[in-house]
Amino acid sequence: MSFKLPKLSYSYNDFEPYIDKKTMNIHYNKHHATYTNNLNKAILDTNMVNLSIEKILKRAHIESEIIRNNSGGFYNHNLFWEILIPHIKYTHPNTDFIESIQKNFNSFDSFKEKFSKIAANHFGSGWIWLCVKKNKLTICTTANQDNPLMYGKGCEGIPILGLDVWEHAYYLQYQNRRLDYISSFWNIVNWIKVEENYRKAMIK
Protein backbone atom coordinates (compact mmCIF):
# COMPACT_ATOMS: atom_id res chain seq x y z
CA MET A 1 0.00 0.00 0.00
CA SER A 2 1.22 3.49 -0.75
CA PHE A 3 -0.09 6.73 0.70
CA LYS A 4 -1.51 9.41 -1.56
CA LEU A 5 -2.16 13.10 -1.28
CA PRO A 6 -5.81 13.70 -0.40
CA LYS A 7 -8.00 15.42 -2.95
CA LEU A 8 -8.86 18.89 -1.73
CA SER A 9 -12.50 19.94 -1.71
CA TYR A 10 -11.64 23.57 -2.47
CA SER A 11 -9.38 25.66 -4.68
CA TYR A 12 -6.08 27.22 -3.63
CA ASN A 13 -7.54 30.73 -3.74
CA ASP A 14 -10.65 29.93 -1.69
CA PHE A 15 -9.02 31.07 1.55
CA GLU A 16 -8.00 34.54 0.48
CA PRO A 17 -7.50 36.99 2.09
CA TYR A 18 -6.68 34.75 5.08
CA ILE A 19 -4.26 32.41 3.30
CA ASP A 20 -3.04 33.37 -0.15
CA LYS A 21 -3.24 31.16 -3.24
CA LYS A 22 0.53 30.84 -3.66
CA THR A 23 1.04 29.65 -0.09
CA MET A 24 -1.73 27.06 -0.39
CA ASN A 25 -0.32 25.77 -3.67
CA ILE A 26 3.23 25.42 -2.39
CA HIS A 27 2.12 24.04 0.97
CA TYR A 28 0.08 21.28 -0.66
CA ASN A 29 2.01 20.46 -3.84
CA LYS A 30 5.53 20.86 -2.48
CA HIS A 31 5.62 20.33 1.28
CA HIS A 32 2.80 17.84 1.76
CA ALA A 33 3.69 16.02 -1.44
CA THR A 34 7.30 15.67 -0.29
CA TYR A 35 6.28 14.15 3.05
CA THR A 36 4.00 11.74 1.22
CA ASN A 37 6.63 10.64 -1.28
CA ASN A 38 9.33 10.29 1.36
CA LEU A 39 7.04 8.24 3.60
CA ASN A 40 6.29 5.83 0.78
CA LYS A 41 10.00 5.44 0.03
CA ALA A 42 10.84 4.90 3.71
CA ILE A 43 8.33 2.09 4.29
CA LEU A 44 8.90 0.33 0.97
CA ASP A 45 10.02 -3.26 1.54
CA THR A 46 9.40 -3.02 5.30
CA ASN A 47 6.75 -4.63 7.52
CA MET A 48 5.01 -1.25 7.71
CA VAL A 49 4.03 -1.11 4.08
CA ASN A 50 0.52 -2.44 4.79
CA LEU A 51 -0.08 -0.57 8.04
CA SER A 52 -2.48 2.35 8.41
CA ILE A 53 -0.94 5.76 9.00
CA GLU A 54 -2.26 5.70 12.58
CA LYS A 55 -0.47 2.43 13.32
CA ILE A 56 2.74 3.75 11.81
CA LEU A 57 2.53 6.85 14.00
CA LYS A 58 2.05 4.77 17.15
CA ARG A 59 5.36 2.99 16.52
CA ALA A 60 7.22 5.95 15.04
CA HIS A 61 9.31 6.36 18.21
CA ILE A 62 11.08 3.04 17.53
CA GLU A 63 11.59 3.72 13.83
CA SER A 64 13.97 5.98 11.96
CA GLU A 65 13.80 9.76 12.00
CA ILE A 66 12.84 9.61 8.33
CA ILE A 67 9.74 7.54 9.07
CA ARG A 68 8.80 9.60 12.11
CA ASN A 69 9.13 12.97 10.36
CA ASN A 70 7.40 11.97 7.14
CA SER A 71 4.59 9.93 8.66
CA GLY A 72 3.85 12.91 10.89
CA GLY A 73 4.07 15.32 7.98
CA PHE A 74 1.67 13.20 5.95
CA TYR A 75 -0.91 12.76 8.72
CA ASN A 76 -0.72 16.28 10.13
CA HIS A 77 -1.36 17.95 6.79
CA ASN A 78 -4.21 15.57 5.98
CA LEU A 79 -5.96 16.71 9.16
CA PHE A 80 -5.12 20.35 8.51
CA TRP A 81 -6.74 20.37 5.05
CA GLU A 82 -9.84 18.65 6.45
CA ILE A 83 -10.51 21.23 9.13
CA LEU A 84 -10.32 24.20 6.77
CA ILE A 85 -13.29 25.65 4.94
CA PRO A 86 -13.57 28.72 2.67
CA HIS A 87 -14.61 31.72 4.73
CA ILE A 88 -17.71 32.27 2.60
CA LYS A 89 -18.97 29.02 4.13
CA TYR A 90 -17.84 29.84 7.64
CA THR A 91 -19.36 27.64 10.30
CA HIS A 92 -19.66 28.09 14.03
CA PRO A 93 -19.62 25.26 16.57
CA ASN A 94 -23.11 24.04 17.34
CA THR A 95 -24.61 24.12 20.80
CA ASP A 96 -23.52 20.63 21.87
CA PHE A 97 -19.89 21.16 20.94
CA ILE A 98 -19.87 24.66 22.41
CA GLU A 99 -20.98 23.11 25.70
CA SER A 100 -18.04 20.70 25.58
CA ILE A 101 -15.66 23.58 24.91
CA GLN A 102 -17.21 25.61 27.73
CA LYS A 103 -16.86 22.68 30.11
CA ASN A 104 -13.14 22.48 29.45
CA PHE A 105 -12.21 26.11 28.76
CA ASN A 106 -15.04 28.16 30.35
CA SER A 107 -16.09 29.75 27.05
CA PHE A 108 -15.49 29.56 23.32
CA ASP A 109 -13.63 32.87 23.39
CA SER A 110 -11.45 31.63 26.26
CA PHE A 111 -10.61 28.53 24.26
CA LYS A 112 -9.59 30.58 21.21
CA GLU A 113 -7.56 32.94 23.36
CA LYS A 114 -5.71 30.09 25.07
CA PHE A 115 -5.09 28.21 21.82
CA SER A 116 -3.88 31.39 20.09
CA LYS A 117 -1.53 32.27 22.94
CA ILE A 118 0.02 28.81 22.95
CA ALA A 119 0.38 28.95 19.16
CA ALA A 120 2.01 32.38 19.30
CA ASN A 121 4.47 31.30 21.99
CA HIS A 122 5.45 27.98 20.41
CA PHE A 123 9.15 28.20 19.65
CA GLY A 124 10.18 27.23 16.14
CA SER A 125 8.36 24.90 13.80
CA GLY A 126 5.54 22.65 14.93
CA TRP A 127 1.84 22.19 15.49
CA ILE A 128 -0.80 23.28 17.98
CA TRP A 129 -3.50 20.71 18.71
CA LEU A 130 -6.97 20.46 20.17
CA CYS A 131 -7.18 16.86 21.36
CA VAL A 132 -9.49 14.48 23.11
CA LYS A 133 -7.71 12.82 26.03
CA LYS A 134 -9.65 10.66 28.47
CA ASN A 135 -12.90 12.20 27.22
CA LYS A 136 -11.66 15.72 27.88
CA LEU A 137 -10.59 18.46 25.49
CA THR A 138 -6.98 19.56 25.83
CA ILE A 139 -4.59 21.90 24.00
CA CYS A 140 -0.98 20.91 23.46
CA THR A 141 1.93 21.40 21.07
CA THR A 142 4.43 19.25 19.24
CA ALA A 143 7.69 20.15 17.54
CA ASN A 144 8.38 19.70 13.86
CA GLN A 145 6.02 17.06 12.39
CA ASP A 146 5.36 15.15 15.62
CA ASN A 147 1.75 14.72 16.71
CA PRO A 148 -0.37 13.48 19.63
CA LEU A 149 -0.67 9.93 18.28
CA MET A 150 3.07 9.44 18.72
CA TYR A 151 4.41 8.00 21.94
CA GLY A 152 6.29 10.10 24.45
CA LYS A 153 5.76 13.57 22.99
CA GLY A 154 4.06 15.02 26.06
CA CYS A 155 0.99 15.75 23.95
CA GLU A 156 -0.89 12.48 23.97
CA GLY A 157 -4.49 12.28 22.77
CA ILE A 158 -6.60 12.07 19.65
CA PRO A 159 -6.16 15.24 17.58
CA ILE A 160 -9.36 16.81 16.27
CA LEU A 161 -7.99 20.19 15.17
CA GLY A 162 -4.45 21.23 14.32
CA LEU A 163 -2.75 24.47 13.34
CA ASP A 164 0.47 24.35 11.33
CA VAL A 165 2.94 26.96 12.62
CA TRP A 166 5.81 26.02 10.33
CA GLU A 167 6.90 29.13 8.46
CA HIS A 168 6.03 27.52 5.13
CA ALA A 169 2.36 27.71 6.21
CA TYR A 170 2.30 31.50 6.42
CA TYR A 171 5.59 33.28 5.72
CA LEU A 172 4.97 34.30 2.11
CA GLN A 173 1.95 36.32 3.21
CA TYR A 174 2.58 37.17 6.85
CA GLN A 175 6.39 37.11 7.13
CA ASN A 176 7.15 37.20 10.88
CA ARG A 177 3.58 38.16 11.86
CA ARG A 178 2.53 34.78 13.22
CA LEU A 179 -0.13 36.42 15.39
CA ASP A 180 -1.91 37.71 12.29
CA TYR A 181 -1.82 34.25 10.73
CA ILE A 182 -3.27 32.70 13.89
CA SER A 183 -6.02 35.30 14.02
CA SER A 184 -6.90 34.65 10.36
CA PHE A 185 -7.05 30.91 11.00
CA TRP A 186 -10.26 31.25 13.06
CA ASN A 187 -12.09 32.59 10.00
CA ILE A 188 -11.60 29.38 8.02
CA VAL A 189 -12.06 26.58 10.56
CA ASN A 190 -14.56 23.93 9.51
CA TRP A 191 -16.26 23.37 12.85
CA ILE A 192 -18.57 20.76 11.38
CA LYS A 193 -15.51 18.60 10.64
CA VAL A 194 -13.90 19.35 14.00
CA GLU A 195 -17.05 18.26 15.80
CA GLU A 196 -17.20 15.12 13.66
CA ASN A 197 -13.62 14.36 14.72
CA TYR A 198 -14.60 15.02 18.33
CA ARG A 199 -17.51 12.60 18.27
CA LYS A 200 -15.38 9.87 16.72
CA ALA A 201 -12.65 10.41 19.30
CA MET A 202 -15.12 10.22 22.18
CA ILE A 203 -16.20 6.70 21.26
CA LYS A 204 -12.69 5.28 20.81
Give the pLDDT score at 167.
97
Is the Cβ–Cβ distance between 1 and 70 less than 8 Å?
no
- 140 has pLDDT over 90: yes
Give the pLDDT score at 145.
97
Nearest to 170 by CA among 187, 182, 162: 182
- The pLDDT tens digits for 6-59 are 999 999 999 999 999 999 999 999 999 999 999 999 999 998 999 999 999 999
Give the pLDDT score at 87.
85
> CA of 104: how far to CAs of 42, 100, 107, 132, 139, in Å?
39, 7, 8, 11, 10
The pLDDT confidence band at residue 89, using thresholds 50, 70 and 90, is confident
Q: Which amino acid is at 148?
A: P
Transcribe 101-129 into DSSP letters: HHHHHSSHHHHHHHHHHHHHH--SSEEEE
Q: Which domains does the chain have, with CATH numbers?
A: 20-204 (3.55.40.20)
Give the pLDDT score at 95.
81
User: 161 CB contacts (<8 Å, ≥6 apart)?
Assistant: 79, 83, 129, 130, 189, 194, 197
Q: Checking DSSP bridges between strand 136-143 and strand 158-164, what pairing results, if any?
A: unpaired
Give the pLDDT score at 1.
60
Q: How many residues does the chain have?
A: 204
pTM: 0.96
Rounded distance between C-alpha atoms, residue 104 and residue 140, angstroms = 14
Q: Which amino acid is at 140?
A: C
DSSP H or E stretch at residue 193: helix 191-202
Is the Cβ–Cβ distance between 70 and 35 less than 8 Å?
yes
